[in-house]
Structure 1
Amino acid sequence: MTCHNRTLRLALYRCTSVKLRIDDITAEGREVSFAEPEQEINRTLARGALHEYFIKAPLRVSLSYYRAGSEIFVSGTLDAITTASCSRCVEEFDLPSHRRFRYVLAPKAMNDENDFALRAEDLEFSFYQGDEIDLTPLIREQVLLALAERPLCREECRGLCPQCGANLNDGDCGCIIGGLDPRLAVLRNLKLGR
């Protein structure tokens, strides 16, 4: 595994890329584990549309890969602790994430991309060109997929009062909710004729 700045540590966000040389991948395979500093990931998240997430501790990545003919099989796990804002009550909370992933990579020149059938529902299929595979986009994709689309501090979160904005998890606010908006009262007496 090589990185453009020639360090042995795999830095997904500081390094231009994380690459596997095809000739170095054997049928026996190899396993690699590393931790990516949270500061680098947080800078990347802040540049994108994911600034509501904050990685609290280093991202831990474990990869194993092997070769079968011209296809490369990559599997791995991501572990992170993310601080997120609840989508209902907007309180910050820690959200541990554990994600498993698998990819099958085939040479792009081997056949047309449409000629491949997926081997299993949980396998991701992708293509590579040349004598190296850049894993950075695949790992970044998994980091993004590990983030909850609508993070909740807990399933039974009651959210905020739509009238006063109080956090209903802290207790009732006393607002009467569900009444008809007085601006729409005139519509109550409206009769629709055919």
Structure 2
Amino acid sequence: MTRQKKTRSAGDNGPRFLPASDVRKARERKEESKKSAVGGKAGQRNSPLLSKHARDDSRQQAAKDPRHGSKKPIPLLITEPSEQEQLQHSMQPKAQIGKVKAVALSPEQELAVLEQDEKLQQLLERVEQNEVLTGKDAKYFNRMTERYEQLLEILGLAEAPSDDPLAEFERKDWKRDLLGDDEEQQ
């Protein structure tokens, strides 16, 4: 690339030179305008001498209280509550909201509820059709059938042990028999 000599001309796209009269006007000092006054003079807030204008304002505002906060008067003596306060008091809830406690049912009542349980009846039908239950259904079915058997034993309605060897095998606690009574002592 060849070297180009620098020139003082700005070129075709450069800034245009102003005429001398416009340059002089730009150099002249602009007249300074007086700042508008904001607020009063320094140290005049607590001054006992007030101007006539300030005195007129103070009469109109009737000695404004400089304290912040609520200006509501607080009664020092106990009086009868107003109608509005009585209305607000009567609108407040009278009952407390709490957790519902389960009502303890007798074994007979609980057995009747289990026998009427529609979900359990549907699950029993599915099991009788050799369908395998999974997830929440299986847990619910197992828990309810176990409670049903417990209630039958409590009420003395459980069937007498049959001669079914498989049922006896399932009822037997093999862990205790094999390990002995040592585990019970621990």
TM-score (norm 2): 0.15
Larger-gyration structure (1/2): 2
TM-score (norm 1): 0.15
More relative contact order in 1 or in 2 (CA 8 Å, sep 6+)?
1
- Structure having the higher helix fraction is 2
